[in-house]
């Protein structure tokens, strides 16, 4: 998608998107087009009682004066509260309409569209960003798509009087690249994306200046990663652990570590999942996908911070060699785990990935992302990622990053009681809770046992967020890219 910014002019043809606030004020773009079309716009607004409420759309096709144009009025809601995320939603809503048609170019006419809370250049940049995010498609496997099913859009033009728009957009564009890295990974089927091919995708980030290290089974055995390796042992595809280092900050300063669950397919293992919906488990690598995309974003925009992304990549399969319920494995930390349910595999992978991250990088701030429990979807639906941490200050920082980017988080409990629920009869702990309920919290309590004293750590359960079942103004249905902007903003606000 080509995205351009230029000084506001009166557009002459094609798909023209005109945002309006609900205060009844008309923008210059609106009145210019209205004059040109002998009042077609104001007539349409009046007849349809269009009030420019947030998200509402009114389309005027082939008005007199510019017969080869399609004018799309987008309701932007109240100007007083209008901020960056609202601008993104306007961009997304506009482009959604354009994608349903045959236009090659979408033009945002922003002359006179301004709000108090956001700089005009940033406003234009955010509209473009939202539009690009919504225009994402994963269609590499469609070989027979009809011409009229396939959007023709290749260019987004933004007409704005703000000369700073292009510069403002630059940063968002790099973050958008990172979001797309994640969406591509999450959308890919598990016969194509498995530990080795995932690791190869990570290696591509070296083009951005990221140092990528890949550990294989032999090395992980040597390190004693019995928990991670136990999950992968039933798969024909060998497990991997990947570290992606972006050292854009002070030399010698310990990096912030982001750790991702990368189960490239989760059948449940011998504790096999039911068939219905199992195909969803191709995106059980959503945490690893988000971490990879975040590193791509940070490296892409040359963030002045030291950050390492670590992903534990395994496939959880039932097999003659698979681990059995009741097996006891020894993690890299030395702690033993009774595996009572092979479907509670994410925490086993993270146990070793988290420990390795702390040992190798001496990271003092660690955030893990994982599609860890179905229970978090019961709690928070597809609206929030679940945040578990004992560190109030870290919770505050992450929540703020969520609010700023729309990758929302909701803090969940993590207490001593949850820790007591994973006591085992024969090992240091068991991988599922002994009692019913609180499944997301007991999973977090399990991870907490692999965090060293003095390390500031948060676990984000993103099972409800990695995949968007319906779509949002800036997210088409499918892989959402959730977490990339969250982590990027967390770094920007606290570590740069
Ligand atoms: N990957 C799943 C969690 C999941 C479920 C993610 C649905 C997205 C959608 C995880 O490995 C799992 O199977 N968790 C079990 C844990 C249970 C066995 C304690 C679950 O949530 O049922
Ligand atoms: Mn599972
Ligand atoms: Zn899983």
Q: Under a CB-based contact definition with an 8 Å cutoff, are residues 53 and 77 in contact?
A: yes
Residues of the chain scoring pLDDT < 70: 147-148
* Dist CA 258 CA 195 (whole Å): 18
133 with 212, same domain: the answer is no
Tokens, residue 176: 């958008």
Distance between first and last Cα of the chain: 30
**Annotated catalytic sites, by residue?**
273, 347
* Dist CA 310 CA 354 (whole Å): 8
Closest atom of ligand 1 relative to the 443 alpha carbon: 19
139 with 209, same domain: the answer is no
List the domain range (segments joined by +) for residue 236. Answer: 174-494
* Interval between CA 345 and ligand 1 midpoint (Å): 8
* Interval between CA 371 and ligand 3 midpoint (Å): 6
126 with 208, same domain: the answer is no
DSSP states along 423-468:
--SSSSEESS-SSSS-HHHHHHHHHHTTS-TT-EEEEEE-TTTSEE
* Interval between CA 17 and ligand 1 midpoint (Å): 42
200 with 92, same domain: the answer is no
Nearest CA to ligand 1 atom 7: 374
Q: Under a CB-based contact definition with an 8 Å cutoff, are residues 293 and 405 in contact?
A: no
35 with 65, same domain: the answer is yes
DSSP 280: G
Alpha helix ranges (H) inside 208-312: 217-223, 226-232, 286-300
- Probe residue for ligand 1, chosen from 374, 375, 421 as the CB with the greatest number of ligand atoms within 8 Å: 374
Residue 309 CB coordination number (10 Å): 32
Lining ligand 1 with CB less than 6 A are 266, 280, 284, 341, 343-346, 371, 373-375, 432, 439, 463
Give the pLDDT score at 148: 65
Of 183, 245, 227, 259, nearest in space to 459 by CA: 259
Residue 71 CB coordination number (10 Å): 26
* Interval between CA 343 and ligand 2 midpoint (Å): 4
Domains held by the chain: number: 2
Strand order in the sheet with 2-6: 2-6, 155-159, 105-109, 14-20, 69-75, 57-61
Give the pLDDT score at 146: 73
Closest atom of ligand 1 relative to the 442 alpha carbon: 19
DSSP states along 343-355:
T--HHHHHHHHHH
- Probe residue for ligand 1, chosen from 262, 274, 281, 373 as the CB with the greatest number of ligand atoms within 8 Å: 373
Give the distance, in angstroms, between the CA of residue 112 and the centroid of all CA atoms in the same chain.
Answer: 33
CA distances from 459 to 18, 128, 237, 374, 451 (A): 42, 32, 27, 15, 11
186 with 148, same domain: the answer is no
Residues measured by CB to lie within 5 Å of ligand 2, the ion: 266, 343, 345
Of 333, 71, 96, nearest in space to 228 by CA: 333
Closest atom of ligand 1 relative to the 431 alpha carbon: 19
Q: What is the CATH number of the domain that holds 54?
A: 3.40.220.10
Give the model confidence (pLDDT) of 282-314 as tens digits: 999 999 999 999 999 999 999 999 999 999 999
* Interval between CA 351 and ligand 1 midpoint (Å): 16
Q: What is the CATH number of the domain that holds 244?
A: 3.40.630.10
Element (H, E) at 41: helix 40-48
Instruction: Please give the model's pTM, rounded to 2 decimal places.
Output: 0.98
């Amino acid at each position: 998608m080509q995205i351009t910014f230029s000084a506001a002019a009166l557009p002459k043809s094609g798909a023209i998107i005109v945002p309006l606030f609900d205060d009844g004020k008309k923008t210059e773009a609106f009145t210019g087009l209205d004059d040109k079309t002998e009042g077609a716009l104001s007539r349409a607004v009046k007849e349809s009682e269009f009030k420019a409420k947030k998200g509402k759309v009114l389309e005027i096709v082939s008005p007199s004066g510019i017969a080869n144009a399609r004018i799309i009025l987008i309701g932007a809601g109240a100007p007083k509260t209008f901020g960056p995320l609202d601008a993104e939603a306007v961009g997304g809503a506009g482009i959604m309409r354009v994608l349903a048609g045959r236009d090659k170019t979408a033009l945002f006419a922003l002359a006179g569209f301004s709000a108090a809370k956001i700089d005009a250049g940033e406003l234009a940049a955010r509209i473009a960003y939202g539009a690009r995010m919504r225009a994402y498609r994963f269609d590499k496997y469609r070989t027979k798509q009809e011409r009229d099913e396939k959007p023709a859009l290749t260019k987004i033009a933004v007409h704005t009087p703000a000369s700073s728009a292009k510069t403002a957009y630059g940063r968002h564009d790099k973050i958008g690249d990172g979001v797309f890295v994640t969406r591509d990974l999450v959308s890919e089927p598990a016969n194509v994306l498995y530990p080795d091919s995932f690791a190869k995708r990570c290696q591509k980030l070296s083009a951005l200046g990221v140092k990528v290290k890949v550990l294989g089974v032999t090395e992980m055995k040597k390190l004693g990663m019995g928990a991670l390796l136990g999950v992968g042992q039933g798969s024909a595809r060998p497990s991997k652990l990947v570290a992606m280092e972006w050292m854009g900050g002070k030399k010698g300063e310990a990096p912030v570590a982001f750790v991702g669950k990368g189960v490239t397919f989760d059948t449940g293992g011998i504790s096999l999942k039911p068939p219905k919906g199992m195909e969803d488990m191709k995106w059980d690598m959503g945490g690893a996908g988000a971490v990879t995309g975040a590193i791509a974003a940070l490296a892409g925009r040359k963030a002045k911070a030291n950050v390492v992304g670590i992903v534990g990549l395994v496939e959880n399969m039932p097999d003659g060699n698979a681990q059995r319920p009741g097996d006891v494995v020894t993690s890299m930390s030395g702690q033993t785990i009774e595996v009572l349910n092979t479907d509670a595999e994410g925490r086993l992978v993270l146990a070793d990935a988290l420990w390795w991250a702390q040992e190798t990088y001496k990271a003092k701030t660690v955030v893990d992302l994982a599609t860890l429990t179905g229970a978090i979807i019961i709690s928070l639906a597809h609206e929030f990622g679940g945040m578990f941490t004992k560190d109030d200050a870290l919770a505050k920082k992450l929540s703020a990053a969520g609010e700023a980017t729309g990758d929302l988080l909701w803090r969940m409990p993590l207490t001593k009681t949850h820790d007591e629920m994973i006591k085992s009869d024969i090992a240091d702990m068991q991988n599922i809770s002994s009692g019913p309920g609180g499944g997301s919290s007991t999973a977090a309590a399990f991870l907490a046992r692999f965090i060293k004293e003095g390390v500031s750590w948060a676990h984000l359960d993103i099972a409800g967020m990695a995949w968007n079942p319906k779509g949002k103004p800036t997210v088409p249905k499918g892989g959402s890219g959730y977490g990339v902007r969250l982590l990027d903003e967390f770094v920007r606000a606290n570590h740069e």
